[in-house]
């Protein structure tokens, strides 16, 4: 029931308006003060309580917010409330949703709808709750109830959409389609349809049941007039005819569409498909929904049943038609008919009727017409890989000759960029010599600066003409670093990009919605493996908050795990805070549930891998860490990159996400059970059996996620800790192996079964296995680690992970054990069992503490050795740019320095002023500063853990003496 007579939740609106104004302006303290005063006057008002809960949640006090909102919920259920208003319920729903307690919001609306069964507002609120919970059946039932209550078409459509979701996401859901059709037919008989969306939904229901003729009949009848645009109606009609295998009629429909919309590329593909009597689409990459750069040797899965003569006749007819479209349109905007010529020639080649030079000529003609556009290369990327090496050379020569490189023009610059893009797409840069690549990169940078005057009058938010040249030049410099291992090239790559950013001052990019999910892989994996924990936490929290679209994505499961793990890493030195974090996430149980096999199968993978640079096609692969293969052909390299992208969604990615989802629960079980093992009277207590029973299958699953059975995994950690197995053989997952050893030790402490069998007293205990493994793994990282400034790709990320994850989990276990030494409750009665400490185990813990201290001190020593005075570090990096010869780095940085220092009036005041602030030394100084920040943060982490260990060591010494 909506608020009436100026009442908001039963409170005069003038009383609550100032509170909302304060909330909207983020003045939460002021809002809380006003709300508290209002609550004093209305202590049982569910609305005011809900409002207070909302304010507390915004202030970062989730526990208090939940408590207040639960109180509001109780008040709603009490007999003192005579009416429910949607404002109160929606406010509660907002808070419960942000606290990830959608079930509580739903229960409030369910209770309200029970009390007021015909209230439309409440039913709509309940429907929205079910939508947020993906409760498709309940969505449908609620929508049907609303439809029966008021008879509105929109509620019927909500019910039909809910049925479609059940069809899509449940096995056997297609049995509901006849019900949806019957509901719609009944409504049409009594009320007809009034919205285009209703017609589209009706057609969709018929389509899903393969009732194409019935759908065509509906579309051609009176209801067809609901389609506002004739072209939309024709597209739907063409699709239905094609699905009904009425290809001739369908091709005629698509021809009509193309006559009015010649740039409709999808309609052209369907047109051509109908002519050849099979569906035609451009080849798709296995890793993307976008056209791929893969060769098109197996582009179409379906073959036409038509004879070669008929295929050729129909392709000739199609070519004649698109040539008419080309003649009728002379603008530079409509590219479809010209691309269509290329596709038709491709089809001729595929059908075994290559027409001499027609295919290459169609490509050349396309570049003559549209080569200056930034999209030209990507438009035809799929076709470029069909060319022979001679044809590629001819194409590049033709494009190069079509513009005057000495003149300044946007069109000429566009053609030059397209030439480079084509070479980049074909991978021809990989077959050129180091000297040639240096010359090309230098030419790109010079061309960018030379053409800067073209951008002088652009709006600051517009893209600069030719800025793609800097990205391509940087890419070439990265390749030169890969080939030569000369750090100067990598520094120059950074300088080139920084130069471009200085010329064009970008505003901070506000990344929202699905872009956050598809692009986050460029930065989050690196942030997670850095010691910059707070900055990473801010990024992760932002991601987790955006979840409406992500509930069924692999990224959401992964980052949700990361957010909890990150919090545990930040608070690992405080057992109370670790317990609080775990309590707030149901001790990790929900993540374990999300990561079960049935749920994982439904997850989507939304990362945009096409945006990744060539040297790191996936988050786990970096070609720069491998030797450069001089003999590798561009085609081989391209195939290798595509292969990595195609397997990014495979089992290893899923297993990694599953492994992270298990971590919080394993940390909780480890600290929960091992503490009790220190008291001899509880060593064999049955109270721990439940947790032991749960931990075993989790460890089995954890071992499987690394690719081993539990027994084989135990053998691996025993082998590594004893030196019988090389740590390097397990490097990709070494952090996971160390965490596994920590959890095995915890399980071994309180399990009734012998987890780590010991042949005799000389065999290592589970504590000793962890100690040895930690020491060996960290020492190996320090031995292999080189100077940060001079060795990109150093071991810092792995070292950070070792310290902040397995070592942190081990310290949590140790803290739990030490805390259990404190007196528990009242003293035992005389004659009862004493609470004497388990001395052998305390000694094992003390040795482990000392091992951790020694290990972290060795890391600190290495970090101290890495730190240099800023000027000295600056000189080291700048020395890589002082080569001065034509065969090494330094040439491009000289060009950038000269151009930034030169006063060029043609650039315009804005660009000239931007360049005045740029210098190579300034950029390199920021690199040095970033390195120092990294080292300092890691040292702080080590200091914090050493401080804790010193305190623990003192407590242990006191207990043992």
What is the model's pLDDT at position 475?
93
- Tokens at 613, concatenated: 């640079």
Cα gap 922→671, rounded to integer Å: 49
Helices (H), 607-688: 634-646, 651-674
3-state SS, residue 8: strand
Task: Say how far apart CA 691 and CA 698 lie, in whole Å.
Answer: 11
Q: Find which of 314-318, 463-467, 505-509, 591-595 is predicted with most confidence, using mean pLDDT.
A: 314-318
- Write the pLDDT tens digit of every residue in 375-392: 999 999 989 888 888 888
Mean pLDDT value of segment 796-801: 89
- How is residue 276 written in tokens? 């050849």
Task: Give Cα 711 to chain centroid, integer Å.
Answer: 34
Band (pLDDT 50/70/90 cuts) for residue 653 is: confident
Sequence-ordered strand ranges (E) for 380-476? none
- 349-363, 405-419, 670-684: range with highest mean pLDDT: 405-419
The reply to whether 381 falls in a domain is no
Q: 284 versus 869: which is more confidently predicted?
A: 869
What's the chain's average pLDDT? Answer: 83
Exposure b/e, 51-82, CB count within 10 A at least 16 = b: bbbbbbbbeebbeebbebbbbbbebbeeeebe
Res. 644: pLDDT tops 80: no
Task: Examine residue 391 and state whether it is found in any structural domain, yes or no.
Answer: no
78: pLDDT strictly greater than 50: yes
User: How many residues comprise the chain?
Assistant: 961
* End-to-end CA separation in angstroms for the chain: 71
* pLDDT for res 237: 93
Q: What is the mean pLDDT of residues 66-77?
A: 91
- Residue 571 has a pLDDT of 92
Q: Which two tokens stand for residue 903?
A: 């006063």
Cβ-Cβ contacts under 8 Å for 585 (sequence gap 6 or more): 564, 591, 664
Q: Where are the beta strands (DSSP E) in 323-443?
A: none
pLDDT at 788: 66
How far apart are alpha carbons 92 and 109 in whole angstroms?
10
CATH number at residue 80: 1.25.40.10
Q: Which residue has the higher pLDDT, 254 or 789?
A: 254
Better-scored residue on pLDDT, 508 or 818: 818
Query: Does 835 score more than 90 pLDDT?
Result: no
Dihedral, CA of residue 594, residue 600, residue 602 and residue 607, to nearest 10: 100
Buried b vs exposed e over 241-262: b needs ≥16 C-beta within 10 Å?
A: bbebebbeebbebbbbbbeebb
Ramachandran angles phi, psi of 256, nearest 5°: -60, -40
Report whether pLDDT(631) > 90.
Answer: no
pLDDT at 265: 92
**Angle (deg, nearest 10), helices 710-722 and 734-750:** 100
Three-state SS at 489:
helix
Instruction: Reply yes or no on whether the pLDDT at 532 is more than 90.
Output: no
Is position 229 within any domain?
no
Q: d(Cα 186, Cα 148) in Å, to the nearest integer?
A: 13
The predicted structure's pLDDT at residue 30: 93
pLDDT at 894 over 50: yes
Question: Looking at residue 537, what is its pLDDT?
Answer: 66
Cβ atoms within 10 Å of 164's Cβ, excluding its own: 20
CA 58, CA 50: separation in Å to the nearest integer? 12
- Over pLDDT 70: what percentage of the chain? 83
* Whether residue 548 has pLDDT greater than 60: no
Q: Which residue has the tokens 């003729």?
A: 213
pLDDT of amino acid 29: 92
What is d(CA 354, CA 360) in angstroms, rounded to the nearest whole number? 11
Estimate to the nearest angstrom the gap between the alpha carbon of 49 and the chain centroid: 37
Quote the DSSP letter at residue 402. T
Write down the pLDDT at residue 235. 93
Q: Which two tokens stand for residue 863?
A: 């970090």
Per the structure block, which two tokens stand in for 742? 């920590």
Residue in this structure with the two tokens 């034509």, named with its chain if needed: 886
- The answer to whether residue 61 is domain-embedded is yes
CA distance 776 to 786: 18
Q: What is the pLDDT of residue 853?
A: 96
Query: Can you read off the two tokens belonging to residue 107?
Result: 């229960």
Identify the domain containing residue 785 by its residue range.
551-605+648-678+688-821+838-866
Task: Quote the CA–CA distance of 665 and 673 in Å, as a whole number.
Answer: 12
394-440 residue pLDDT tens: 888 888 887 777 778 898 999 999 999 999 888 888 888 899 999 99
Whether 197 is in a domain gets the answer no
Single pTM value for the model: 0.76
Cα separation, 202 vs 206, whole angstroms: 6
Residue 614 pLDDT grade (very low, low, confident, very high; cuts 50, 70, 90) = confident
Q: What is the pLDDT of residue 542?
A: 52
The predicted-structure confidence for 733-762, as pLDDT tens digits, reads as follows 999 999 999 999 988 887 766 677 665 666
Q: Are 918 and 499 in contact (CB under 8 A)?
A: yes
397 belongs to a structural domain: no
Q: Which of 76-90, 353-367, 666-680 has the lowest mean pLDDT?
A: 666-680
| CB < 8 Å & 24+ apart, contacts of 220-228 | 223/188, 223/192, 223/193, 223/199, 224/199, 226/193, 226/194, 226/195, 226/196, 226/198, 226/199, 227/196, 227/199, 228/196
149: pLDDT strictly greater than 90: yes
Task: Pick the range with the lowest mean pLDDT from 447-451, 629-633, 939-943, 954-958.
Answer: 629-633
**Does the pLDDT of residue 131 top 60, yes or no?**
yes
Q: What percent of the chain has pLDDT over 90?
A: 41
| CB 502 within 8 Å of CB 914 | yes
**Could you identify the residue written with the tokens 């005819």?**
241
| Cα-based distances in Å from 132 to 102, 156, 551, 926 | 8, 19, 10, 45
Q: Sign of torsion, CA 75 81 87 90? A: positive
Please report whether residue 320 resides in a domain.
no
| pLDDT band, residue 806 (cuts 50/70/90) | very high
Find the Cα–Cα–Cα–Cα dihedral 812, 814, 818, 824, rounded to 10°: 60
Q: Into how many domains does the chain fold?
A: 2
Task: Give me the helices (H) in 732-805, please.
Answer: 734-750, 766-784, 796-804
Residue 393: what pLDDT?
87
pLDDT given at position 689:
52
pLDDT at 947: 95
Tokens describing residue 610: 């096409």
Three-state SS sequence of 12-39: EHHHHHHHHHHHHCCCHHHHHHHHHHHH
C-alpha–C-alpha distance, residues 526 and 529, integer Å: 5
Domain end marker among 133, 150, 168: 133
Structure tokens at 566: 């990150």
CA angle, 608 then 559 then 54, to 5°: 115
pLDDT in tens, 916-926: 888 999 999 99
Q: Where do runs of H (alpha helix) occur along 451-523?
A: 468-484, 487-503, 513-519
pLDDT tens figures, 262-314: 999 999 999 999 998 875 443 333 333 333 333 333 333 345 678 888 988 99
Distance CA 481, CA 600 (A): 40
Only one residue has tokens 């070439």, namely 476
- Name the nearest CA neighbour of 219 among 191, 187, 245, 193: 193
The first and second tokens of residue 102, run together, are 């959608």
Q: Report pLDDT for 685.
A: 45
- Beta-carbon contacts of 90 under 8 Å, excluding residues fewer than 6 positions away, are 125
* End-of-domain residue from the set 133, 166, 197: 133
d(CA 597, CA 654) in angstroms, rounded, equals 10
> Is 803 a domain residue?
yes
Of residues 829 and 659, more confidently modeled: 659
Residue where a domain terminates, one of 133, 167, 186: 133
Question: Residue 230 to residues 207, 219, 264, 268: CA-CA distances in angstroms?
Answer: 20, 12, 14, 17
Question: Is the Cβ–Cβ distance between 679 and 837 less than 8 Å?
Answer: yes
Q: How far is CA 139 from CA 145, 156, 158, 215, 865, in A?
A: 10, 11, 8, 26, 63
**C-alpha pair distances (Å), 213 with each of 104, 167, 184, 236, 278:** 47, 22, 17, 13, 19
Kindly report, residue by residue over 455-485, the tens digit of the pLDDT: 888 877 778 899 999 999 999 999 999 999 8
CA distances from 423 to 385, 426, 430, 459, 482 (A): 11, 5, 10, 31, 19
- As a whole number, mean pLDDT of residues 807-811 equals 95
DSSP secondary-structure letter at 756? S
Is the alpha carbon torsion for 51, 53, 54, 60 positive or negative? Answer: positive
- Show the tokens assigned to 807: 């070592």
């Amino acid at each position: 029931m909506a608020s009436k007579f100026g009442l908001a939740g039963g409170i005069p609106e003038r009383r609550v308006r100032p509170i909302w104004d304060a909330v909207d302006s983020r003045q939460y303290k002021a809002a809380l003060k006003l709300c508290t005063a209002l609550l004093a006057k209305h202590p049982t008002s569910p609305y005011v309580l809900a409002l207070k809960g909302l304010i507390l949640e915004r202030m970062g006090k989730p526990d208090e917010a939940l408590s207040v909102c639960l109180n509001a919920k109780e008040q709603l259920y009490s007999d003192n409330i005579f009416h429910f208003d949607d404002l109160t319920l929606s406010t509660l729903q907002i808070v419960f949703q942000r606290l990830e307690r959608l079930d509580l919001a739903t229960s409030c609306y369910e209770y309200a709808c029970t009390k007021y069964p015909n209230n439309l507002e409440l039913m709509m609120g309940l429907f929205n709750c079910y939508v947020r919970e993906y409760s498709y059946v309940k969505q449908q039932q609620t929508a049907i109830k609303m439809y029966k209550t008021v008879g509105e078409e929109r509620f019927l459509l909500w019910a039909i959409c809910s049925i479609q979701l059940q069809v899509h996401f449940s096995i056997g859901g297609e049995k509901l389609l006849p019900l949806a059709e019957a509901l719609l037919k009944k409504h049409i008989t009594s009320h007809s349809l009034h919205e285009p969306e209703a017609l589209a939904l009706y057609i969709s229901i018929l389509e899903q049941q393969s009732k194409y003729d019935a759908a065509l009949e509906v579309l051609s009848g009176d209801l067809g007039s609901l389609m506002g645009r004739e072209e939309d109606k024709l597209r739907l009609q063409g699709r239905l005819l094609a699905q009904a295998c009425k290809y001739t009629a369908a091709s005629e429909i698509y021809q009509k569409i193309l006559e009015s919309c010649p740039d409709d590329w999808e309609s052209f593909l369907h047109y051509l498909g109908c002519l050849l009597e099979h569906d035609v689409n451009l080849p798709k990459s296995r890793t993307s929904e976008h056209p791929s750069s893969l060769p098109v040797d197996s582009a179409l899965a379906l073959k036409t049943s038509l004879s070669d003569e008929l295929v050729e006749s129909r392709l000739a007819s199609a070519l004649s038609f698109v040539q008419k479209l080309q003649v009728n349109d002379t603008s530079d905007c409509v590219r479809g008919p010209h691309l269509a010529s290329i596709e038709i020639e491709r089809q001729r080649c595929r059908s075994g009727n290559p027409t001499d030079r027609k295919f290459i000529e169609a490509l050349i003609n396309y570049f003559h017409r549209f080569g200056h556009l930034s999209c030209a290369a990507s438009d035809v990327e799929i076709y470029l890989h069909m060319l022979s090496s001679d044809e590629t050379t001819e194409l590049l020569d033709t494009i190069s000759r079509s513009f005057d490189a000495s003149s300044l023009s946007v069109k000429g610059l566009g053609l030059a960029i397209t030439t480079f893009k084509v070479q980049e797409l074909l991978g021809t840069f990989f077959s050129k010599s180091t000297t040639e690549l240096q010359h090309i990169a230098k030419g790109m940078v010079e061309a960018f600066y030379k053409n800067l005057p073209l951008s002088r009058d652009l709006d600051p938010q517009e893209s600069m003409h030719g800025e793609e040249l800097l990205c391509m030049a940087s890419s070439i410099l990265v390749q030169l670093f890969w080939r030569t291992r000369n750090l100067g090239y990598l520094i120059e790559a950074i300088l080139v990009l920084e130069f471009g950013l200085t010329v064009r001052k970008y505003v901070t990019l506000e990344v929202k919605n699905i872009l956050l999910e598809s692009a986050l892989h460029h930065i989050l994996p690196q942030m997670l493996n850095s010691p910059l924990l707070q900055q990473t936490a801010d990024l992760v929290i932002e991601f987790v908050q955006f979840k409406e679209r992500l509930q069924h994505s692999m990224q959401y499961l992964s980052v949700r795990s990361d957010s909890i793990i990150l919090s545990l890493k930040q608070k690992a030195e405080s057992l109370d805070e670790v317990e609080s974090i775990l309590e707030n996430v149901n001790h990790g149980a929900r993540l374990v549930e999300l990561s079960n096999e049935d749920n994982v199968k439904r997850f989507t993978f939304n990362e945009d891998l096409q945006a990744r640079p060539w040297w790191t096609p996936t988050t786990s692969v970096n070609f720069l860490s491998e030797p450069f293969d001089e003999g590798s052909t561009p085609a081989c390299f391209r195939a290798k990159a595509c292969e990595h992208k195609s397997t990014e969604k495979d089992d290893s990615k899923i297993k990694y996400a599953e492994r992270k989802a298990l971590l919080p629960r394993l940390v909780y079980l480890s600290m929960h059970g091992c503490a009790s093992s220190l008291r001899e009277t509880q060593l064999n207590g049955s109270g721990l059996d439940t947790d032991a029973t749960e931990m075993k299958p989790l460890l089995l699953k954890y071992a499987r996620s690394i690719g081993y059975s539990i027994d084989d995994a135990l053998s691996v950690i025993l082998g590594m800790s004893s030196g019988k197995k090389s740590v390097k053989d397990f490097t990709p997952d070494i952090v996971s192996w160390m965490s596994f050893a920590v959890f095995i030790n915890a399980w071994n402490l309180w399990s009734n079964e012998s987890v780590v069998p010991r042949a005799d007293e000389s065999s290592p205990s589970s504590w000793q296995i962890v100690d040895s493994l930690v020491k060996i793994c960290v020492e190996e990282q320090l031995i292999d680690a080189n100077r940060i400034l001079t060795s990109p790709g150093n071991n810092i990320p792995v070292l950070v992970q070792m310290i902040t994850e397995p070592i942190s989990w081990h310290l949590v276990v140790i803290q739990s054990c030490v805390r259990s030494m404190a007196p528990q409750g009242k003293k035992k009665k005389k004659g009862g069992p004493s609470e004497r400490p388990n001395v052998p185990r305390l000694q094992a813990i003390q040795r482990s503490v000392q091992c951790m201290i020694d290990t972290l001190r060795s890391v600190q020593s290495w970090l101290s050795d890495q730190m240099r005075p800023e000027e000295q570090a600056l000189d080291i990096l700048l020395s890589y740019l002082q080569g001065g010869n034509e065969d090494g780095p330094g040439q491009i940085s000289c060009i950038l320095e000269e151009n930034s220092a030169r006063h060029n009036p043609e650039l315009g005041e804005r660009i000239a002023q931007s360049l005045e602030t740029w210098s190579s030394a300034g950029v390199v100084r920021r690199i040095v500063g970033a390195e120092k920040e990294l080292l300092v943060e890691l040292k702080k982490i080590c200091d914090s853990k050493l401080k804790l260990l010193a305190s623990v060591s003192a407590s242990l010494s006191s207990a043992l003496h």
